[in-house]
Amino acid sequence: HEPSRFELSTDLAVCKIPELPDGIAYQPLNMSLNAFSNNESAYSIGYAEMPSIPVKYENKLFSIGKFPADLYVSIGKVELVFPYNHELKEVPTPGPCFDFRAKIPGKMSGAPVFGGGGAIIRGVVSRSYEGERHAYGSMLGPAMELPLDEPHTSGRTLRSLMVGGNQGIAIVQGMGL
């Protein structure tokens, strides 16, 4: 619903993906609102250690130069869960999070963290330590309960917007909302 634009000050990308042949739909990634548990297996997949992607904008057209895109897979266990970190500030990662004992390369923030079953995203990488088997991930489920910081929302959360059904977030039957 918005035209393409390029802003150097943002750390977010929204991509338009070309349609598959014969109009076949892409399989969406499933997200779980359930928190991780201690000692639960988890893994992350992402493009890490990438340099800045060379982007040019000329004559109202974008062009992208060559860049390495090596996919990394990191496997480990959830050591500890911090569901109230947004209040208690137990660890340096903001918001509800978990300590993930996996070697996550640098620049992999935002990569999905899957539960051990492998089909459902349970969090995202938020901080890693170079050369160590230690990283933090933000949990999706508890973050859905945090109040929105906008005056007109008055106590609403992402979950309440999802349940309201008019904010573009799909409700999947059987999610236990």
Tell me the sheet residues that pair with 124. Answer: 112, 138
- What's the CA gap between 177 and 116, in Å, rounded? 22
Q: Which residues contact 68 (CB under 8 A, 6 or more apart)?
A: 50, 51
* Average pLDDT over every residue of 123-149: 82
pLDDT digits (tens, 9 = 90+) for 77-132: 999 999 899 889 999 888 889 998 998 888 888 899 998 777 788 899 988 877 78
pTM of the model: 0.70
- Nearest CA to 42 out of 128, 144, 142, 124 is that of 124
Q: Categorize the per-residue pLDDT at 176 as very low, low, confident or very high, splitting at 50, 70 and 90.
A: very low
